[in-house]
Amino acid sequence: MRIRKYSVSDGDAIENIHFETGFLGRSMHELLSNTALWSREIAYYLEKEPESIFVLESKGVVVGYLLGCLDDTEMNTAALFLTTRIKNFLQSIFLSRKDRIFWRSQFLVLLKIVFGSSGERRFNTPVNAGHFHINLLPQVRGRQYGTKLLHHFERYARTHGVSCIHADGYQTRVNPSMNFWLTNGFSEFSRVPTRTWERYLPEESISLVCYSKLL
């Protein structure tokens, strides 16, 4: 098992891992049949800042990744979320019924965010900070590889003058990730209730959490 910098040939593997872990750490296959629209969620990292990506490789196969962004003022997360959800909703008209149902539900969540019935409008992140997104396939979780990926990114960010990094994630009973962040020196910066997954997990209380760390 080794950690290395991203190369263009890793793109398909990263998109696959993103799909296989997208539903609160589980596969999106139960929600979607088309993977292409979901891949737009990470297009910024792959297209605009590939030099800030690290991958975890086992026997020549990529089994995890950390997608990094050194200054999130360059990455307008809210605008990307808005435009991606609208584009995906419109294009899903030509896809399967399962895909249409999912992207319609996400478009309705977008409307709830805009009108304040989902908490994302109150969500805060550090200013002028580095940002990253990390995922591992289930078979390599719980073995400290996430921490090792994180340490690679922290060293890389420091060498580029970054003094604060943050990551955002969903906190719920089925995806209890808080211990990972606290163990690695992060603190909770912001927490809001979200309705993103309520169609599929109606009994769950789900929060969107920003964890931050000074380097």
> In the block, which residue shows the tokens 């969540």?
109
The answer, as to whether pTM is greater than 0.85, is yes
d(CA 26, CA 56): 18
Amino acid identity at 31: L
What is the H or E stretch that residue 20 is in? helix 11-20
How much is the pLDDT for 173? 79
State residue 100's pLDDT score.
96
pLDDT the model gives residue 172: 85
In this prediction, the residues of the chain whose per-residue pLDDT falls under 70 are 174-176
Looking at residue 138, what is its pLDDT? Answer: 93
Which of helix, strand or coil describes residue 17? helix
Helix/strand/coil for 118: coil
Give the C-alpha separation, 47 to 28, whole Å.
23
User: Which residues on adjacent β-strands are paired with residue 69?
Assistant: 131
> Total structural domains in the chain?
1
Indicate which CATH number applies to the domain containing 66.
3.40.630.30
Range of the domain at 133: 2-214
How far apart CA 68 and CA 102 sit, in angstroms, is 27
